[in-house]
Amino acid sequence: MDFNDMKALAFEIKSLHDKAEIYSKNNEYVYTDVYKTWIKEYNNLLDKYNALTSLSLTHMSYNIHDLSSTQKTVRSATVEFFLNTLSSLIGKIESDIETYRLKMAEEKIAPHQMRKCFKLGIDGCPINPQYHRNKIFIAMPFSSEYLDSYNYGIVPALNALGYEYYKADNEITNKDIMCKICQQIQACKMAIINISGLNPNVMLEQGLAYGLGKPVIIIKDKSTNATSDLGSIEYIEYSHAGDLREKLLKALDK
């Protein structure tokens, strides 16, 4: 399907619709000869549509029941049907155009990236982050309470297995914080999410990771009760940093 040809066709059909609508409103009767020219124009446009889409929509025709008793004019119900048929075809073409546009946009978006920016509402990610197959995104509360789990649990496990990793507060930039986080989740192979304390920001990052189709390892300390929504999802529960390190090594080594 040619995008520009479809747009041009939609314009032609709208022009026919507007012409027929204006004529029928400004004249007491629609004469049969006039209606015949409309039918011919419509069928010509339908042939173009069928050629562009490889469909075989049936031509429009008329019979004696569509005409008045004198057969010189067309019944008002027939004119209304004609206009509605044009409107339906216009709607179908506009839907085809939008479907094609979205398909083309999807094909340009790398599989690891956002299909649509949740902040700007545009297709894809304007930052266009590159994928790093050996990099892991780490989400956890920005609190000293959990530093040991990071420094002596997560980091040693990742270093031992040769992974790169990213934690948002380890990088100081002037970027919007959510854009920075979203960019890094897109770029990473997988995510480790520490839901200890049930921090809402961490939960959002977890949702982004799942939405982007990233493998996710959820971890939490023993003092945090998992929410009911996570009840059926496997997670790692740890009692101290050393315990977390050993459990992460086993999980990541799989």
Specify whether domain 132-253 bears CATH 3.40.50.450.
yes
Q: So what's the pLDDT on residue 49?
A: 94
Q: So what's the pLDDT on residue 230?
A: 67
Overall average pLDDT of the 181-185 stretch = 95
Tokens of 186: 């897109």
pTM given for the model: 0.59
- Per-residue pLDDT at 248 exceeds 90: yes
Q: So what's the pLDDT on residue 214?
A: 96
Is residue 127 a contact partner of residue 178, using CB atoms and an 8 Å limit?
no
Chain centroid to CA 136: 25
Dist. CA 220–CA 149, nearest whole Å = 10
Q: So what's the pLDDT on residue 231?
A: 64
* pLDDT range class, residue 209, cuts 50, 70, 90: very high
Could you tell me the CA-to-CA distances from 126 to 75, 115, 211 in Å, in that order? 55, 11, 18
- Per-residue pLDDT at 55 exceeds 70: yes
Angle at 28 between CA 27 and CA 29, to 5 degrees: 90
* pLDDT range class, residue 29, cuts 50, 70, 90: very high
Q: What torsion do the CA atoms of 36, 40, 42, 43 make, to the nearest 10 degrees?
A: 130
- Per-residue pLDDT at 42 exceeds 70: yes
Domain boundaries, the chain: 3-108, 132-253
Adjacent-strand bridge partners of 165: 136
Report pLDDT digits (tens) over 102-122: 777 667 788 899 988 988 888
Q: So what's the pLDDT on residue 118?
A: 86
- Beta strands of the chain (E only): which ranges? 30-31, 73-74, 132-139, 164-167, 188-194, 216-221, 235-238
* pLDDT range class, residue 76, cuts 50, 70, 90: very high
